[in-house]
Amino acid sequence: MIIKYMESRKQKKFNIIDAMLIIIIAAAIGVLVYVLMGNNLINSSQNVTILYKIEVPIIKNSMLPDIRKLQAGNEILDSVRNQSIGNIYDVEIDEAYFNLENSATGVVERVIHPEHSKVTLTVQVRCEKSDIKKYYINGKNIMTGTKIDFRTPYFIYSGYCIYLEEVES
């Protein structure tokens, strides 16, 4: 009886279930290696210094006294993850504008927003740069257009990255 069972087992051919089982095991091993090793397997990275600008297009003028307290060197944090995203390099305060349709002509005009300003923070940070020209600050990808929720020593706000440049450190 056992000999017949062994002979029938030896004659069994490779089938689709065996192939799918091998593919699933290989995929599981690949996912495990990726989770343990991270992006280091795919991208080699280097540390570089960048300057990037966070623009807050409209902010109430009542916040300007707190904004004027900011000085070069103040640390700026990601308000979601509470990790450093650099140090203030420069602060610019300009007039804020918005679009308004002229009811007489039907043309949209750009006008000054009363009691509001536009704030641009220039931030300097040492970060990782991957081979494909992506920048990571403490694991967070940063590029032009990225929304940045930030915290300074004097206020919490959010804005958008409008400029990014690699500089000599």
Strands 140-142 and 108-130 turn out to be: unpaired
| pLDDT over threshold 60, residue 87 | yes
Query: For the whole prediction, is pTM greater than 0.75?
Result: no
Query: With pLDDT > 90 as the criterion, what percentage of the chain qualifies?
Result: 69
Q: What is the pLDDT of residues 137-161, one digit of tens each?
A: 988 899 999 999 999 999 999 999 9
Pull the structure tokens for residue 128.
């990782």
Q: Could you report the per-residue pLDDT of 49-81, keeping only the tens digit for each?
A: 999 999 999 999 999 999 999 999 999 999 998
Tell me the two tokens of residue 78.
């990601």
Q: Which band of pLDDT confidence, cut at 50, 70 and 90, is reported for residue 19?
A: confident
* Contact (Cβ atoms closer than 8 angstroms) between residue 126 and residue 169: yes
Please tell me the distance from the alpha carbon of residue 82 to that of residue 108, in angstroms, as a whole number.
Answer: 40
